[in-house]
């Protein structure tokens, strides 16, 4: 029940932000999600024995998102340069003991790139124009949702062969295949309902690519959590865990959507 209630609250918020004419609305939602995911990633880092530099990872991640929204002001090269310079200051004058400086620096870099730079591609997709940007965002979300749902039900019913037992013991090859099939069905449903001008070859290719890459993203986050000995990335979403638990597939699928469009749909 908690899982359903949480979805009923978040789903209208997500749909409304994507459909808002001003991309800044969706960008604000992504920014909030990024800050929360950054905090959860630092929580995983602490559980792994790494002391994060205070505020550095989330702020650096936010700067990457500002760059996606206002590229002329927050230039990518400037954001990339500012982060390491800040690391120098934190390493020399921060409270992290010297033996932990390298690990703390690596955590800050990874946090910024993973929850900032990669999530920023979702903003770039939304900025592709009307109604293309919103439709691609919905396509990515529906493919992931349909694939996850198919994987859960098929894996629970007939899953026998473990996919990655050391990382996520509950996932099976049967569920992974069902995920891809569900993703293809989701992409097909999008094509047939509100994205009629999407060519079938693109619908099939995106259904396959987003399903496979999304599963890899999910397994990667599971590896981070299992290595740290935590079950969920956070507790902010009753019945779902943390924001990173819900967005792990979309984080890695943003670049797939954007570069696929740039390379093959323009």
Each residue's pLDDT tens digit, 178-222:
999 999 999 999 999 999 999 999 999 999 999 999 999 999 999
Report pLDDT for 7.
Answer: 67
Residue 46 token pair: 């602490």
Q: Is 130 exposed, middle or buried (0-12, 13-18, 19+ CB in 10 A)?
A: exposed
Q: Cis peptide leading into 131, omega within 30 of 0?
A: yes
**Bridge-partner residues for 164, per DSSP?**
168
pLDDT in tens, 103-147: 999 999 999 999 999 999 999 999 999 999 999 999 999 999 999
């Amino acid at each position: 029940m908690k899982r359903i209630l949480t979805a009923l609250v978040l789903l209208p918020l997500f749909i409304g932000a994507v459909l808002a004419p001003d991309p800044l609305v969706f960008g604000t939602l992504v920014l909030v999600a990024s800050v929360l995911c950054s905090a959860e990633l630092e929580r995983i880092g602490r559980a792994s024995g790494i002391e994060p530099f205070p505020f550095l990872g989330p702020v650096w991640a936010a700067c990457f998102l500002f760059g996606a929204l206002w590229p002329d002001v927050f230039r990518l090269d400037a954001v990339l340069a500012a982060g390491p310079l800040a690391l120098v200051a934190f390493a020399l004058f921060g409270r992290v003991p010297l033996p932990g400086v390298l690990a703390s620096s690596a955590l800050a870099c990874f946090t910024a790139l993973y929850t900032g730079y990669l999530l920023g591609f979702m903003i770039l997709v939304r900025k592709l124009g009307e109604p293309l940007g919103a439709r691609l965002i919905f396509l990515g979300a529906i493919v992931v949702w349909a694939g996850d749902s198919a994987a859960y039900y098929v894996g629970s019913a007939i899953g026998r062969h473990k996919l990655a037992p050391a990382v996520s013991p509950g996932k099976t090859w049967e569920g992974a295949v069902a995920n891809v099939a569900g993703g293809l069905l989701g992409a097909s449903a999008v094509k047939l309902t509100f994205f009629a001008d999407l060519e079938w070859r693109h619908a099939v290719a995106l259904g396959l690519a987003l399903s496979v890459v999304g599963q890899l993203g999910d397994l990667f986050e599971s590896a981070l959590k299992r290595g740290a000995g935590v079950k969920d990335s956070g507790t902010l979403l009753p019945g779902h865990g943390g924001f990173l638990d819900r967005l792990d597939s979309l984080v890695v699928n943003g670049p797939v959507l954007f570069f696929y469009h740039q390379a093959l749909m323009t």
